[in-house]
Amino acid sequence: MGYWQENLECMSIDELRTLQNERLRETVERVYKNVKYEQDKMKELGVEPGDIKTYEDLYKLPLLTKQDLRDTYPYGLFAVPMDEVIRLHASSGTTGKQVVAGYTQNDIGIWGDCCARALTAAGATKSDFMHVSYGYGLFTGGFGVHHGAEKIGMTIIPVSTGNTQRQVNIIKDFGSTYICCTPSYALFIAETMKEMGVTKDDIGLKAGLFGAEPWTEEMRREIEDKLGCKALDIYGLTEIMGPGVSFECTEQSGMHINEDHFIVETIDPDTGKVLPEGEQGELVFTCITKDAFPLLRYRTRDIGVLKREKCSCGRTLVKMLKPMGRSDDMLIIRGVNVFPSQIESVLLNLGNTNPHYQIIVDRVNNTDTLDINVEISADMFSDVVSSLETQEKKIAGQVLSTLGISAKIHLVEPKTIPRSEGKAVRVIDKRKLH
């Protein structure tokens, strides 16, 4: 598999650090000068741009949180005059008020390069057909990968979300070889294919880049099996850019972070202290090439682990392991911390069940309750009606032994859990409503 920008993707750590330091100094200066809010925060801590000479000085800068974005909504952290901003996007608002991001022409170009790296790492070339089922709109997904595919010169099919049967027909008839969407939607497409009598041999997908929500290795295997293509992970967030902040190569063991554009740190989510590379913590990004919206030390709330080692693909860019979820997605059930993705892992490892599930948390008589609705496969349903209860108990036993919490499992008929065209809604936490 090739590279999009080999000299940047494979540079030595010394070259990388030199480049990062230069870009960091320049960005901090510019932000200090142009963004009053950041300047005030730095002044409060007694930090000046001159104090930030290398990436090792980053810890001196204030951390930014989603609250800072809300306080400055919509444009308070932009670092260029509005007439240089040629595009606005906004987060999908999964967790609260939406966040607005701005891009200059140059920012869009860099975004395209980052996504082109991801696609090239997956083997895409200009001869390929790029089927984009991420939404086009304020959500960054569709446009981001579109810009990348355009740079490569792929034949783009900008389908956007919706009408899944039509999506299947297009994949088949137009000859889509690459696809981008959320992993949960990829499975929905697979399911729809099955209903339509379309098999993986009828389509020509080589690989899919799936992201925008957490997913597990088990889910990856399901997708690869059902769509007959490689399933690669791509990560990003509106605040930092959108998809393409990091991307998986075909080694499938973590996503390379585009470190020449984003410096990554991991911090202890409780104390904010920087952790040594390799320890699990909250990922914090600093943009060092963005004009319009260059956030410094932005707390993602995504919990991840960094791995810096030479990858078999030849890239030297640090890798982040699949984020398990956001710190604010983490459920605390009777004092036990659980991520929905851990539950997914247990469910899918058992076989028999489909990767469609919903987790319902409530509080009854001051005690947290955990209910998991999970679909079983169609064959199973007709087969084992008599032993559903046994199956439910078995799954509950597995959840208990793996995660240390008791749960009530409800096996439900295929297709009773709502499908999503974008990010799946996995958790309903009713405790928040009381």
Residue 304 interacts, among ligand ADP, Zn ion, none and using kind-specific CB cut-offs from 5 to 8 Å, with none
Nearer to Zn ion, 3 or 136 (CB): 3
Minimum separation from the CB atom of position 15 to ligand ADP (A): 27
The pair phi, psi for residue 210, each rounded to 5°, is -120, 135
CA distances from 405 to 287, 363, 398, 408, 430 (A): 39, 15, 10, 10, 18
183 makes contact, choosing from ligand ADP, Zn ion, none, with CB < 5 to 8 Å by partner type, with: none
Closer residue to ligand ADP, CB minimum distance, 360 or 425: 425
Angle, CA of 421, 330 and 257, to the nearest 5°: 70
Instruction: Select from Zn ion, ligand ADP, none the partner in contact with residue 300, using the beta carbon and a kind-dependent cut-off of 5 to 8 Å.
Output: ligand ADP
Applying CB under 6 A, the residues found at the interface with ligand ADP are 91-95, 211-214, 233-238, 300, 302, 322-323, 326
Among Zn ion, ligand ADP, none, partner that 290 touches (CB below 5 to 8 angstroms by kind): none
CA distance 198 to 401: 39
The bridge status of strand 155-157 relative to strand 129-132 is: parallel
Instruction: Give the interface segment with Zn ion, choosing from 151-159, 227-235, 275-283, 307-315 (CB under 5 A).
Output: 307-315
C-alpha to C-alpha distances, 129 to 114, 173, 294, 421, nearest whole angstrom? 19, 12, 32, 21
**Residue 80 found at the interface with Zn ion (CB under 5 A):** no
| Closer by beta carbon to ligand ADP, 28 or else 320 | 320
Q: Which of residues 319-348 bind Zn ion (CB under 5 A)?
A: none
Terminal-to-terminal C-alpha distance of the chain? 53
Contact (CB, 8 A) for 259 and 277? no
Helical spans, DSSP H, in 290-387: 340-349, 378-383
Rounded CA separation 145/141 (Å):
7
Query: Which DSSP letter does residue 171 get?
Result: I
- Establish if 313 lies at the interface with Zn ion (CB under 5 A): yes
Residue 331's binding partner among Zn ion, ligand ADP, none (Cβ under 5 to 8 angstroms by kind) is none
The least CB distance from residue 255 to Zn ion, in Å, is 9
Binder among 23, 66, 146, 315 for Zn ion (CB under 5 A): 315
Q: Which does 233 bind (CB under 5 to 8 A by kind): Zn ion, ligand ADP, none?
A: ligand ADP
* Secondary structure of residue 152 in the 3-state scheme: helix
Nearer to Zn ion, 316 or 353 (CB): 316
21 binds, among ligand ADP, Zn ion, none (CB under 5 to 8 A by kind): none
27 C-beta neighbours (distance < 10 Å), count = 23
Residues 64/299, Cβ–Cβ less than 8 Å: yes
By the criterion CB under 5 A, which residues form the site for Zn ion? 249, 251, 311, 313, 315
